[in-house]
């Protein structure tokens, strides 16, 4: 049940093609979190992505690090935009994660132009990340974001600073978007040219929660739930060389994503994905 491993950009680490999205641990108890760890160990997942904003996630992951720190490439994020705030955030994350070094610190959800300028200018959050790297508190620096403008913003980020990784949405719906799809391709080409790792999110997103539908998942969007739907969605993303997929922010979906990723990856063709879209009602989670 091994999941393919791929070079994570220029970091020297070979990460599983599916990265555990620890947003799924935001609001769970220790028993549920530890069941998730057992699953990660079963599938040999070796990369965890969390964030300071993800509720109790860093605390749960920190308990795991007491025993398994050497097993995982450990990534977290800071949502602060100024130097002092980001410096303090990084140190809190180190404490919560029970480690003396984070493998990847990421500027979280950096897509608003004003926040972008603040974070990447002198005295901004990037300065704190660079200082932490110089002090060997972090090894690499990345940037993440959501929404239809984020691919273009990430391209600006890569042109401003040598980020080691980017993280952004990618799925069948995004690939049909008239402006996002070409922006994504240009940004991914630049990241590949500079050997920055390319992480994708929302691979199994179905759409926004419809009115009257019970929100029985911990994702802010409605995810695909049946294996017959998750498998082609996962395979469509992972069939692209060099791309990573973060697992969904719901522990109930995790086993299906890992199982799908552990199977031989066969890229569904366009008619198959169009049929999936029609059958499940795939739509944008970011509006038009």
Contact assessment for residue 143 and residue 110, using Cβ atoms and an 8 Å cutoff: yes
Could you write out the three-class secondary structure of 74-112? EEEEECCCEHHHHHHHHHHHHHHHCCCCEEEEEECCCCC
Residue 183, burial from CB neighbour count under 10 angstroms (0-12, 13-18, 19+)? buried
- Tell me the pLDDT tens digit for each residue of 89-116: 999 999 999 999 999 999 999 999 999 9
Tell me how many degrees the CA angle 34-243-262 measures, rounded to the nearest 5: 50
Whether the per-residue pLDDT at 144 is higher than 90: the answer is yes
Give percent of the chain with pLDDT exceeding 90. 97
Phi, psi (degrees; rounded to nearest 5) at 100: -95, -5
Structural domains in the chain plus CATH codes: 5-280 (3.20.20.100)
- Tell me the pLDDT tens digit for each residue of 245-273: 999 999 999 999 999 999 999 999 999 99
Give percent of the chain with pLDDT exceeding 70. 99
Whether the per-residue pLDDT at 210 is higher than 90: the answer is no
Q: What is the pLDDT of residue 287?
A: 83
Whether the per-residue pLDDT at 1 is higher than 70: the answer is no
Average pLDDT over residues 223-243: 98
Beta bridge partners of 197: 165
Q: What is the pLDDT of residue 207?
A: 95
């Amino acid at each position: 049940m091994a999941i393919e491993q791929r070079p994570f950009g220029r970091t020297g680490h070979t990460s599983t093609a599916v990265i555990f999205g620890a947003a799924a641990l935001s609001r769970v108890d220790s028993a549920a979190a530890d069941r998730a760890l057992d699953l990660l160990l079963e599938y040999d997942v070796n990369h965890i992505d969390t964030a300071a904003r993800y509720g109790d996630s860093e605390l749960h992951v920190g308990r795991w690090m007491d025993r398994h720190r050497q097993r995982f490439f450990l990534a977290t994020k800071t949502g602060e935009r100024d130097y002092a705030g980001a410096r303090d955030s990084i140190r809190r994350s180190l404490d919560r994660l029970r480690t003396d070094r984070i493998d990847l610190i990421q500027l979280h959800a950096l897509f608003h132009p004003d926040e972008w300028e603040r974070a990447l200018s002198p005295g901004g959050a990037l300065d704190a990340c660079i200082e932490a790297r110089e002090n060997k508190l972090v090894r690499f620096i990345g940037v993440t974001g959501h929404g239809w403008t984020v691919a273009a913003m990430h391209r600006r980020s890569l042109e401003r600073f040598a980020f080691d990784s980017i993280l952004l949405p990618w799925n069948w719906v995004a690939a049909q978007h008239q402006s996002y799809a070409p922006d994504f391709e240009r940004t991914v080409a630049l990241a590949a040219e500079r050997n920055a790792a390319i992480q994708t999110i929302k691979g199994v997103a179905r759409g926004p929660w419809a009115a009257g539908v019970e929100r029985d998942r911990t994702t802010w969007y409605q995810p695909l739930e049946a294996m017959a739907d998750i498998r082609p969605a996962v395979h469509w993303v992972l069939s692209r060389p060099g791309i990573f997929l973060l697992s969904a922010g719901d522990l109930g979906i995790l086993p299906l994503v890992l199982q799908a990723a552990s199977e031989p990856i066969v890229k569904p063709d366009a008619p198959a994905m169009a049929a999936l879209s029609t059958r499940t009602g795939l739509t944008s989670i970011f509006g038009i």
